[in-house]
Structure 1
Amino acid sequence: MSLIHKSLIASALLGASFAAQAITPIDTSSTPNEGFSGTVGLGLSGESGSKDEQEYSVSLLGRHVAGERTALLIVNYNYGETDDKKDEDDLFVHGRWIKNNFFSERFDWENFVQYEYDKFDDLNSRKLAGTGVRWRFASETETGLLNTTFGVGGFVEEEESESTGETESNWRGNFYGKWVWNRKGDFPFELYGRMYLQPVLDDLGDLRATANGGIKFGLTEAMSLSFDAEVEYDSEPFEEAEKTNTEYGVKLSYAF
C-alpha cells in the first residue's frame, strides 16, 4: 500500500470515533502459520458537554495450529456509560477445535463451546456446546484470492433472561457460510462476510440468525484498520429484548 493511501486511512481514523460494539471477530486467515498467532483489537469513544459518554471495546482472536489441528479462541467485551450510568455491558467467548481434512481434503470436523451475556438485551447468560462439519473452497484470479466456507451442525444451549430469571434450553441446528476476498495489487485489502442460521430443531419457526461483515486495511505488517457491521435477529427473544439488533463500528487491531 502506498504512503498516500496509508495517510488517507489514518486521517479517516483520526476523524472518526471508535464505536464500542459487540461485533464478533472473523478469522480471515485461510492458512495460519504453525504455533500461536492471532489479533487484538481495541475500540474507544467518548463525548463531553451536554452529556458525558464513554464506550470501550476489547477483542481477542487467538489460535494454535499443530499440523491439521487448530484450536481457536474468540473473546469480545464491550462496556459503556452515559452520564455515569452504565448502558452497555456484554461479553462473548467462543472456543473451537478443528480437524482439517478429517473426512477428505477440505472437508473438516469441528467442535465448539460458547458463553455470552448482554445485560441490556435481557440476556443474563447463554451457554452452548456443539459439533459439525465444514467444507472449504478457494479460487484465485489476477485480482485476488477468494476463500469460502460452508458449515452444517448442531448444538445444545441454555439461556437465562436478565429481567425475569426465566431459563430456556433448546437443541438448535447450525448452518453457516463465510467468505473472505483478499485483493491483490497496489491497494490490497480484505473484504469478508459471514451468516449463521440457527433454528430450534423441534420448532423451526424459532429462528436465530446473524450476519456480519466488513473490510480491513493493513496499515503496517502488524497493524490494521477495519470497518464492520452486524445484524442479529431472534424470532422469539426474551420479553425485554428486541427481535433485531444492528451494530457497526471501527476497530484498530494488532496481529501477533
Structure 2
Amino acid sequence: MPDNAIQLAVFDMAGTTVADGGLVVRAFDAAATAAGLEAEGPQRDRARQYVLDTMGQSKIVVFRALFDDEDRAQLANRAFEAAYDALIEEVGVTAIPGAAAAFEQLRAAGVKVALTTGFSRGTQDRLLTALGWHDIADLTLAPAEAGRGRPYPDLVLTALLRLGADAVDRVAVLGDTTSDIATGLAAGARIVAGTLTGAHDEAQLRAAGATHVVPSVTEFADLIRTELS
C-alpha cells in the first residue's frame, strides 16, 4: 500500500449504503403530528422541506431547530424513532446494490470501514440487524457516541481515532447529503464524495464542496482501490 493511501473509509447509512425508500419523510410526518404540527398547510410544508434540506443531520438537532422547545423536540424525536423503527419492521430495508461487496473489498485491501448515521444508536442497531450487518464494518457510530452529529466533524474524527488512521488526509468519506459533505470537509478528509443514491442531487453535492460525485457506493470503493494500486 502506498505511504499516502487511504486507510479509513467512512460511510453514511440511509441513502448511501442503505436504500431509504422515503422512510425518513414518513417517520417525520408521524413525529410532526405527535409534536402538534397541523397535518396540512404551510407550516407542515416548511417543516418537511427543512427535514429534506438537513438530511443526514442528527434528528434531535433537526427537531430542536424546528420547534425551539426542548420538550417538544424530545417528543418529536421519540415519535420519529418509534415510527422509523416500526417502518423497518413493516416495510423492511435493503442495502444499496454493491454496498456489502464494497465493504468486503476495502477491508480485504487493508482499508478500515466505519458506518455512521444521524439516527440514534437504537435505530442504527435495528438497521444493522435488519441487514445482517453487525459484523460487516470495523466500527459503527451514532452521534451520541461521537459528541456531535453532522455537519460537525466529530463522527469522522472519532472513527479516525478509534480505528487508528495515521492522519485526516488518509480518510475518505461518502454520503448522499450536503450534511455528509460538510462533515467530511470539516474533518479534513482527503476524499469527500457524494453519492447519487439518496437525498441530494449532483448540483447540491458539488455546491456543498464534494471532491467527487459518484453514482453509488461501488464506484466510491473503486476510487479508493485505485489509490491503493
Q: TM-score, normalised by structure 1?
A: 0.24
Q: Which has the larger radius of gyration?
A: 1
- Report the structure, 1 or 2, having the larger helix content: 2
- Report the structure, 1 or 2, having the larger strand content: 1
Q: TM-score, normalised by structure 2?
A: 0.26
